[in-house]
Amino acid sequence: MLKRVNRVALIGTGSVGSSYAFALLNQGITEELVLIDLNKDKAEGDAMDLNHGLPFAPSRTKIWYGDYQDCGEADLVVITAGANQKPGETRLDLVEKNTKIFKGIVEAIMASGFDGIILVATNPVDILTYAVWKFSGLPKERVIGSGTILDTARFRFLLGDYFDVDTRNVHAYIIGEHGDTELPVWSHADIAGTSISEWTKNKDGYNQEDLNQIFLNVRDAAYHIIERKGATYYGIAMGLVRLTKAILENENSVLTVSAYLEGDYGQHDIYIGVPAVVNRKGIRQIVELDLNEEEKAKFTNSVQVLKKTMEPVFKNIEL
């Protein structure tokens, strides 16, 4: 019996998209990768460049540049296209222009006969994931945003660095908007089953002020990187590959993605970053953390900020 061939369609071959394609090839996760971009020369050039690296890749991947018709047989469509965040611009400033861009993209994807999972990475990711869900008509579990997967990775890295522990042994989450109103879930942060608060109390040189600064560095990381190099792309590309692996290999992994809430965390009709079990069918279930009162208030605020930003935009766009 022939092994199932997985196809990933990447829409947008800018810095994030090309970094994702490169990381995907290096990890050998999919058998087919099609690159789609308005700039066909760029997509073709990327496909040529990536193919030249195949002799060094862990497994064979068929890579080509194509068009939206190639989405018809795709298992996963990853959208990284859209306007970039400029210095001094928040992710939410991007909402109106990228929502309009996405309407055309999603209509073209669905016209191909696509019936898989869509993964959204473009900012503001929570709002654009909601837009893709509305525009596509796909079930909510098959439209996923990258959410706070990168924020959570940054959080775990900085905590691991601070306590001098392998970041893979740090368990901590950033939830909420992928942006300025996100929050750390300190009440569930631990290293090897011992809470971060205990680590701070029991070891000299560690204090809550440093932990507060770590979160600020996580929240503002994109601004610091954009200030220095113009854009962020390696970290989010690795996060997207991690999500791709969880989906295509049916891992049932818990990852902080932008998922649709309908009563979870007491919220309704919103895509926002929360831990969720991800597998071949998309989002299997949302993991509802038992937040303390301060965390609940901050999460509610994050939801309200997103809804307030979304409302005027979607009034002017036919869903």
- Integer Cα distance of 319 and 290 in angstroms: 34
**Residue 6, CA distances (Å) to 61, 97, 261, 291 in order:** 10, 32, 29, 38
Question: CB neighbours of 198 closer than 8 A, spacing ≥ 6?
Answer: none
Catalytic annotation on 178? yes
Point out the catalytic residue in the list 178, 188, 224, 268.
178
Residue indicated by tokens 């609940």 = 296
- Integer Cα distance of 10 and 20 in angstroms: 9
Structure-token pair, residue 269? 């009709």
**Residue 319, CA distances (Å) to 44, 112, 213, 298, 314 in order:** 33, 19, 41, 29, 7
Could you list the active site residues? 178
